[in-house]
Structure 1
Amino acid sequence: MLRRRVAQVFWQSVRRESDLATTSLILERSLNRIQLLGRVGQDPVMRQAEGKNPVTIFSLATNEMWRSGENTTSVAGDISQKTTWHRISVFRPGLRDLAYQYVKKGARLFVEGKIDYGEYTDKNDVKRQATTIVADNIIFLSDPLKEKM
């Protein structure tokens, strides 16, 4: 009898704490992932702000192609293309150094990471919006050693 009463009090206190936790802070899973396959637009640069960790930055171009006109299934249709440029930032120490050393303009890469929206002030004291891909993984689809030679 005493054991049952102790268990009942315990579960009531646990339930009360969990009810308080859910009302004050809702913990739910979310996902911020992106995968890009494209070509590097410029050789990477490494930057380091005062008191912050260094970062390797480069641009990656992805292309979207489609046929326009009446008959979009035939080879004769006009092909249109749109290129989107992405700013890639690599903060992870090992990956950052590899990217700086081996990523070259024109290389074909597969980049996985997350999207980060930020704000910065430019040289003219104007606030600007910036969208950055923070890379967690980079897969080289063209051999960086052959391209380096």
Structure 2
Amino acid sequence: MTLEQRAVFSKQGITISIPKDALPEGIQNEDQIEVIIQKDTDGGFSFSFSINGTVLNSLPDVSVMLPYPNDPAAGTLFLGDESGVEIPMTGYDDAAKAASFQISHTGTYTIAVKENAVSLAQAADTEHSRSPILLLIPACLLLLSAGEFFLRRRRK
């Protein structure tokens, strides 16, 4: 078994790892490879790749590691690309405080959190279980005031 060879590029805490199989065959030492990684202020990034001035947009099985200091356990982290495709997180490195994703093309990506379905369901259950109780309080107050009104009226 041989380990997959990968080209690894890092900038501003963002690491991009490209498998050798994703690159065109016949790359030589003299070839000029340009990788541009730009971090956005909102935690996203843009990534471009070219060989000898020829831009490569499709790069299958590229691994991206982004710094993400918050604990992603409360929700699911995902990357959104410019066409709206959501790419789920594939792993989280606690020591590096970074989330990993698999992308298949260059472009601009934004990082976002979706609350887990379990926590959303629990929130909905809690909300539904509270609403009947909240409705009972005004109903009880209304009944008490009506009862008091009728009792006073009878005494007169």
Tell me the TM-score normalized by structure 2. 0.20
Structure having greater relative contact order (Cα 8 Å, sep ≥ 6) = 1
Tell me the TM-score normalized by structure 1. 0.20
Larger Rg: 2
